[in-house]
């Protein structure tokens, strides 16, 4: 008998993995009577409704965090003469990435030298005119003209310096610098290659400490997920799940997959998660729904692997009642159909009732 009970328990554990139960069959009217001394050992559970937050489990894919990823574009025309960084390198803000031989570099340097010389000259004129004004040799209007020339010359020099800093031009070759700190994840240019100002994307840099994890929701699950819901990212490459929150729920349905993207912004300690990697995503919705629950140990399986419970029909008399199961929530199952609120089902001891009932059948 012990061996039969263990076999029945193993079959029950295996059957609980069945995720999409078939429709509930018609209910047999056969009652099974339990002797009084054994009936006293059974524990009944009253079926009731409760507010339930059903977790969602879905596959997801890691992607670069686009808010921390950028394409590095040259702002001058020219040819690449030297690469100063390569794929996989970690670079800091302002770090040189490559040198570009560009006519714009010489032009920018010449403009800067010219405007600095003009500024120095207007400063001399301003100093002279101030002295002359103090000795009543010129009018106030002439002094103000000299001061205006100084302000204009300073503005020209500031413009030149900004252009040199932004474009990387100046003395010698133009230098393309990193706009952010991160890892170079792509390089699209080689030494000798030509670049065009504003259009040639030479590098892609991404901050690996933050990534996006993107899953796909079916529209039936959409009402259960909201921005801010807690989530966990699980993968064999992680020492422990990464806790995060839903940061975005898509605004449109993909016509091919009939799904809606859900995105989680997550930390990435050590950069373990790589773009394109598949992971498991568990979302714990804050939103709850009222559902009918039955203890997991009350649910059994028949010879066709269909779920059923033993429903109390009369004192010490029980009937098999096939049910349609929903998701498992903790130690309980959601019951879609087959039971009504207030029904009493066998809880602890249900497996022994099944064994005895099977012998009688």
For the stretch 279-324, pLDDT in tens is: 999 998 887 778 888 889 899 998 889 999 999 988 888 889 999 9
Low-confidence ranges of the chain (pLDDT < 70): 1-29, 105-106, 166-172, 359-361
pTM of the full structure:
0.62
Q: What is the pLDDT of residue 23?
A: 52
List the structure tokens of 133: 């004004």
Q: How far apart are CA 177 and CA 90, in angstroms?
A: 13
Helix 350-360, helix 2-15: angle, nearest 10: 110
| Residue range(s) occupied by CATH 2.40.420.20 in the chain | 2-52+289-360
Q: Which of 171, 189, 217, 192 minimizes the C-alpha distance to 72?
A: 189
Q: b/e string for 189-224 if b means 16 or more Cβ within 10 A?
A: beeeeebeeeebebbbbbbbebbbbbbbbeeebeeb
CATH number of 103-172: 1.10.287
- The reported pLDDT for the residue numbered 17 is 42
- pLDDT for the residue 303: 86
Instruction: Please count the other Cβ atoms lying within 10 Å of the Cβ belonging to residue 328.
Output: 15
* Amino acid 20: pLDDT: 47
Q: Which fold has domain 2-52+289-360?
A: 2.40.420
Reduce the DSSP state of residue 200 to 3 states and report it: coil
Looking at the chain, the domain(s) classified CATH 1.10.287 span 103-172
Tens-place pLDDT, residues 213-250: 999 999 888 888 999 999 999 999 999 999 999 999 99
Write out the residue limits of the CATH 2.40.30.170 domain(s) in the chain. Answer: 56-68+207-283
3-state helix, strand, coil in the chain (%, to 5): 30, 35, 35
CATH no., domain 56-68+207-283? 2.40.30.170
Buried b / exposed e across 57-81, counting CB within 10 Å, b at 16+? eeebebbbbeebbbebbbbbbbebe
Q: Is the dihedral of CA 157, 159, 164, 170 positive or negative?
A: negative
Radius of gyration of the chain (CA): 37
The residue behind tokens 């006519």 is: 103
In this prediction, residue 317 carries a pLDDT of: 87
pLDDT number for residue 305: 92
Residues 6+ apart with CB under 8 A from 168: 75, 76, 100, 174, 175, 176, 177
**CB-side exposure of 57: number of CA atoms within 13 Å?**
7
Q: CA separation (Å) from 261 to 215, 314, 333?
A: 6, 51, 28
């Amino acid at each position: 008998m012990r061996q039969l009970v263990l076999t029945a328990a193993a079959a029950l554990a295996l059957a609980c993995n069945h995720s999409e139960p078939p429709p509930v069959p018609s209910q047999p009217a056969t009652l099974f009577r339990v002797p009084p001394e054994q009936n006293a050992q059974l524990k009944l559970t009253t079926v009731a409704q409760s507010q339930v937050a059903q977790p969602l489990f879905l596959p997801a894919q890691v992607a670069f965090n686009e808010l921390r990823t950028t394409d590095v574009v040259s702002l001058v025309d020219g040819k690449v003469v030297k690469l100063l960084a390569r794929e996989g390198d970690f670079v800091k803000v302002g770090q040189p990435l490559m040198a570009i031989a560009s006519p714009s570099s010489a032009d920018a340097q010449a403009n800067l030298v010219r405007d600095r010389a003009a500024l120095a000259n207007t400063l001399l004129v301003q100093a002279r005119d101030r002295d002359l004004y103090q000795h009543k040799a010129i009018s106030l209007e002439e002094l103000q003209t000299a001061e205006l020339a100084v302000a204009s010359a300073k503005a020209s020099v500031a413009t030149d310096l900004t252009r040199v800093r932004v474009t990387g031009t100046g003395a010698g070759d133009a230098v393309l610098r990193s706009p952010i700190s991160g890892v170079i994840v792509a390089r699209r240019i080689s030494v000798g290659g030509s670049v065009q100002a504003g259009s040639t994307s030479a590098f892609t840099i991404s901050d690996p400490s933050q990534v996006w994890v993107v899953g796909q929701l079916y529209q039936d699950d959409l009402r259960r997920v909201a921005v801010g819901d807690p989530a966990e990212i699980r993968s064999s490459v992680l020492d422990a799940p990464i806790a995060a929150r839903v940061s975005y729920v898509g605004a449109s349905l993909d016509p091919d997959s009939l799904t809606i993207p859900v995105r989680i912004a997550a930390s990435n300690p050590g950069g373990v998660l790589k773009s394109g990697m598949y992971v498991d995503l568990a979302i714990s919705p804050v939103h709850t729904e009222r559902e009918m629950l039955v203890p997991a140990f009350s649910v059994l399986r028949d010879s066709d692997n269909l779920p059923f419970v033993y429903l109390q029909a009369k004192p010490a008399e029980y009937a098999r009642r096939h049910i349609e199961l929903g998701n498992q929530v903790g130690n309980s199952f959601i019951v879609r159909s087959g039971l009504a609120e207030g029904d009493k089902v066998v809880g602890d001891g249900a497996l022994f009732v099944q064994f005895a009932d099977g012998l009688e059948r």
